[in-house]
């Protein structure tokens, strides 16, 4: 079933309502939202739930700070980064770190669709683009 614009907006609003004050997805709120959708038909509910899940995933990505690194990074540095970026996005960001040897050295931070690159591999890729 294809959702119309109104239902898409509803799903978006429900996803926003599922966030807590810090901008993180709250389990209780999600349950409350799910409970509120009981009155609809199964078919309509399924489509709405799919859209709701989609927008929740978007929100989850927006509230997550994924830091890829090659080598060791001081936790204090990571925390400082999380605080700064949290202020910028006006929400509490959930920090996730991942080792990525392909970066050679440096970091790559991802929040939602925004990527912040400060790695040797990134600079080499820029150099290659500039030369080509």
The answer to the question of residue 89 lying near other proteins (CB under 8 A) is no
> How far apart are CB 58 and other proteins at their closest, in Å?
23
Choose between 53 and 127: whose C-beta lies nearer to other proteins: 127
The answer to the question of residue 127 lying near other proteins (CB under 8 A) is yes
Beta carbons of 66 and 105 less than 8 angstroms apart = no
Kindly tell me which residue out of 81, 86, 91, 93 binds other proteins, with binding defined by CB under 8 A: 81
- Separation of alpha carbons 124 and 1, rounded Å: 47
Listed residue (59, 31, 34, 55) closest to 45, CA to CA? 34
The answer to the question of residue 74 lying near other proteins (CB under 8 A) is yes
Q: At what angle do helices 5-17 and 27-36 cross, to 10 degrees?
A: 150
> How far apart are CB 107 and other proteins at their closest, in Å?
4
Candidate segments 5-13, 33-41, 74-82, 92-100, binder of other proteins by CB under 8 A: 74-82
Listed residue (49, 65, 57) closest to 25, CA to CA? 57
Beta carbons of 119 and 103 less than 8 angstroms apart = yes
- Interface positions with other proteins (CB under 8 A): 69-74, 77-78, 80-81, 84-85, 101, 104-107, 109, 116, 118-121, 124-125, 127-128, 131-132
């Amino acid at each position: 079933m294809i959702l119309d614009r109104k239902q898409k907006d509803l799903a978006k609003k429900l996803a926003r309502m599922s966030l807590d004050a810090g901008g993180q997805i709250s389990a209780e709120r999600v349950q409350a939202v799910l409970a509120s959708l009981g009155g609809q038909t199964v078919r309509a509910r399924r489509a709405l739930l799919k859209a709701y899940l989609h927008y929740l995933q978007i929100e989850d990505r927006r509230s997550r700070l994924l830091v890829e690194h090659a080598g060791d990074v001081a936790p204090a540095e990571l925390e400082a980064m999380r605080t700064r970026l949290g202020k910028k996005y006006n929400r509490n960001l959930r920090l996730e770190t991942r080792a990525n040897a392909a970066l050679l050295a440096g970091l790559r931070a991802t929040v939602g669709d925004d990527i912040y690159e400060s790695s040797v591999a990134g600079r080499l890729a820029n150099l290659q683009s500039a030369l080509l």
